[in-house]
Structures are given as C-alpha cells and as structure tokens.
Amino acid sequence: MQQVKAVVAKAKGAPVELVTINVPDPGPGEAVVKIQACGVCHTDLHYREGGINDEFPFLLGHEAAGVVEAVGADVTSVAPGDFVILNWRAVCGQCRACKRGDLQYCFATHNATQKMTLEDGTELSPALGIGAFAEKTLVAAGQCTKVDPEARPAAVGLLGCGVMAGLGAAINTGGASRGKSVAVIGCGGVGVAAIAGAALAGSSPIIAVDIDAQKLEAARGMGATHTVDSSQLDPVEEIKRICAETYDGADGADIVVEAVGRPETWKQAFYARDLAGTVVLVGVPTPDMKVPDLPLIDVFGRGGALKSSWYGDCLPDRDFPMLVDLYRQGRLDLDAFVTEEIGIDDVEAAFEKMHHGGVLRSVVVL
Ligand code: APR
Ligand code: ZN
Ligand code: ZN
C-alpha cells in the first residue's frame, strides 16, 4: 500500500478536495499506474453533482495517460515502465455480448478488485472505474492500453474518454467514409472530435453546427468544411442546402452526429439527415428529457438508422494505438483539444470554466 495525493468529491454538490488516499499494491489482474495527465470531463462534474449515483466519496478523473508502476503477479498484458492510456472498457470476453462478437457492448468490463480508500479507510468510488486525478491509481490491467511512449500524455490521454467518444461516434458508430456527408450538432470537445473523425475518414462536406461562434471557429480548425450558427439560421435547412450543393439530389446529410444531448438538437439531427441516413446520439441526455411530437410515420418513412454511441463504440486495444500513431504522424491533431494544462488543485476552477465556453479541455498535468 502507498499514499498519494488525489482529488475527491466527498459529498453531493460540495467542492472537490485534494486529499491523501491509500492505493493498494496490485493484486491478481491489477496494475498501479503513475498518472502523467488527466483531462477534466463533464462526467466528473456529473459525479460531483450526484448525477451518476450516490456512492460518495468519488475519486474523480478518467481520461488519463501514465506509466505502469507495478502489476499483479499474473499480469502479462502490460509491464512496469509501459506508457499507457487508461480505458473504461476492459472487455471480459465471456459475456453474451462478447461471445456474439459485440465487444463494444460488453456488460462485464473489468475494474480493479481491491478498493482505494481515504486515510481513515473509507472506500472510494473511482469515476468510471479509473480515478485518475491522482498521483497514482489502481486499475484492472485490461484498463491499460499500451501506446507509443513518445506521445504527449496531455494530448493522448484525452483518447481515454471524450475525444474517443466523438471520433468513434463519427467513424465507428456513424460509419463516416469517403463519399458521405457528415453534420455535427454541438461543437464542444466531443463534437469537434467527431468532426476530426469525419475528416480522418475522408467525408465531405463536414458541417459544424453550434450556437457559439467561437466553437464554430474551433470546428473549422478540426476539419469542418462548413459552419452553421444555429442561433441565427435554421440548421436543418442549412445542412440540406449545403449537402445538395455537393451531391445532386441530396436532401440532408448521410450522417448527423448529435453531440449536445438535448431533444431539440436530436430532432434537428433527425430531420437534417438524408433519406436512409444515420443519426448518432453521442450527447448524453438527462432522464427527464423526451422527444415531443415526432410523427411515427417520419421514423418509418425516412428509413436509415437511429443510433446511440457509448464511448464511440471503441475497442481501446484496437483504436487507441492506431489513433496515437495517426497523431504522431501529424494526421490527427490531438494537441488542439488541450486548451490549458492545469495543476491537480485546479479541478474545481476547471469545472467552473465548463459553464463559460472557450475551453475544449482543461488537462491536469502531474
Ligand atoms: N444547438 C447547437 N449547439 C449547442 C446547443 C444547441 N441548442 N446547445 C449547446 N450547444 C453547444 C455548446 O455551445 C457547446 O459548444 O454544444 C456544445 C457542448 O459542448 P461541451 O459543453 O463542451 O460538451 P462536450 O464535452 O463536447 O460533450 C457534449 O457529449 O459526452 C457528452 O455529456 C456530454 O452531453 C455532453 C455531450
Ligand atoms: Zn464481455
Ligand atoms: Zn468522460
């Protein structure tokens, strides 16, 4: 066991605290990772606000990169000294989803068996089974994906959650490819990652929609060919118009990614897609939200697919090393997602900045 500094949310709505925690030595199937960088994600804030569950105290942080310090006796997939990105989809290989080949839906993903605790022994709930606003954390070995050690931790750590969610929403869930148009509604960290994914896949046009001009500017930098300020213009009409300019007879986009998580923007996505197009919901709605007044005949009549995307339908061991290599080759600008590097005691300030825009990601660097 060792003691390290970590960011903990002790009670619903209360500011997070930097405290000392106990990290057990890794047992069978586990690894201790020395964290180098961890992005601040909306989900961390949701945990703090009690929006996920009531299992306080939470050890926050879950988009991280670091170096494996120690592994359990039986662990062979990673070794001390390996540079890894932490993931929250360590697939089991045994459940029904895994057995039928849908590994991205695995419903028995691995986390560490032992518990990290506060100094008084109170067990911590690590955010998404990770807990990486900490000098060191204990995870399942399968949560460690080995990648090119030359990569910048603050940039590639973001693949551990939000950036992967967006990239995967466009590529894995939406099936973005050459010859297809993509529109993305909501251009925060997740939305611009979807735009970057569409650009990587060779899609065109790539239409960015947001109500914030600053976000649209960032979207252009990530590969958007067109931008629509939906506080000024009807996004459905604009997406249809832009797609028809490129493809004769197009009546919307082939793939529309909703990266806000609201009924009205999902409805925009629904009507902005072409016949037989795909809608991908990657924004996370709250339980009270409903889609009102959607004629069932429109669902039937437009064909295609209405999908949701959890963690970008990623398989970490397949996707992280490839995306890090593309980053190292200059084909995927992960640095552009890092708005600021902050200290481990600045997480609360980073939560505050989320409400003001202008920040794609604040990244804690240790
Ligand atoms: N129409 C278009 N864009 C909107 C609208 C709207 N009505 N309302 C908000 N937006 C834009 C915001 O201006 C912002 O650019 O959506 C973007 C949301 O970005 P962030 O708040 O940075 O959130 P992000 O981290 O990108 O996550 C987006 O995905 O993973 C989920 O929980 C996450 O639901 C959230 C979504
Ligand atoms: Zn499984
Ligand atoms: Zn996250």
Give tens-digit pLDDT for 122-179. Answer: 999 999 999 999 999 999 999 999 999 999 999 999 999 999 999 999 999 999 999 9
Cβ count near 29 (within 10 Å): 20
Task: Return the half-sphere exposure (C-beta side, CA atoms, 13 A cut-off) of residue 230.
Answer: 22
pLDDT of residue 250 exceeding 90 = yes
Cβ neighbours around 120 below 10 Å, total: 6
Residue 357 has pLDDT above 80, yes or no: no
For range 225-247, the mean pLDDT: 98
* pLDDT tens string 89-115: 999 999 999 999 999 999 999 999 999
- Say yes or no to pLDDT of 50 above 80: yes
Pair of tokens at residue 9:
């949310």
Q: Is the pLDDT of residue 64 over 80?
A: yes
Q: Which residues have CB less than 5 Å away from ligand 2 (the ion)? A: 92, 95, 98, 106, 108
- Ligand 1 near 40 CB (within 6 A): no
Which atom of ligand 1 lies closest to the CA of 360?
Answer: 22
| Cβ burial, residue 356 (10 Å; 0-12/13-18/19+) | exposed
pLDDT of residue 356: 80
pTM: 0.96
User: Quick one: pLDDT band at residue 355, thresholds 50, 70, 90?
Assistant: confident
**Cα(310) to centroid(ligand 2), Å:** 15
Measured from the alpha carbon of residue 142, the closest ligand is: 2
Query: Tokens 């990770």 map to which residue?
Result: 130
Q: Which residue's CA lies nearest to atom 29 of ligand 1?
A: 283
pLDDT band at 358 (very low <50, low <70, confident <90, very high): confident
293-317 tens-digit pLDDT: 999 999 999 999 999 999 999 999 9
State the average pLDDT over residues 202-217: 96
Q: How far apart are the first and last CA of the chain?
A: 20
pLDDT digits (tens, 9 = 90+) for 326-343: 999 999 999 999 999 999
Q: Whose CA is nearest to atom 30 of ligand 1?
A: 283
Given a contact cutoff of 8 angstroms between Cβ atoms, the answer to whether 344 and 5 are in contact is yes
**Average pLDDT for 38-44:** 96
CA 304 – CA 275 distance, rounded (Å): 7
- Least Cα distance to 183 among 228, 213, 222 occurs for 228
310 alpha carbon, closest ligand: 1
Mean pLDDT score, 20-41: 98
% of the chain at pLDDT higher than 70: 100
Q: What is the mean pLDDT of the chain?
A: 97
For the chain, give the secondary structure using H, E and C. CEEEEEEEECCCCCCCEEEEEEECCCCCCEEEEEEEEEECCHHHHHHHCCCCCCCCCEECCCEEEEEEEEECCCCCCCCCCCEEEECCCCCCCCCHHHHCCCHHHCCCCCCCCCCCEECCCCECEEHHHCCCCECEEEEEHHHEEECCCCCCHHHHHHHHCHHHHHHHHHHHHCCCCCCCCEEEECCCHHHHHHHHHHHHHCCCCEEEEECCHHHHHHHHHCCCCEEEECCCCCHHHHHHHHHHHHCCCCCCEEEEEECCCCHHHHHHHHHHEEEEEEEEECCCCCCCCCCCCCCHHHHHHHCCEEEECCHHHCCHHHHHHHHHHHHHCCCCCHHHHCCEEECHHHHHHHHHHHCCCCCCCEEEEC
Ligand nearest to the CA of 166: 1
pLDDT of residue 179: 96
- Establish whether residue 42 lines the binding site of ligand 1, counting it when its CB lies within 6 angstroms of any ligand atom: yes
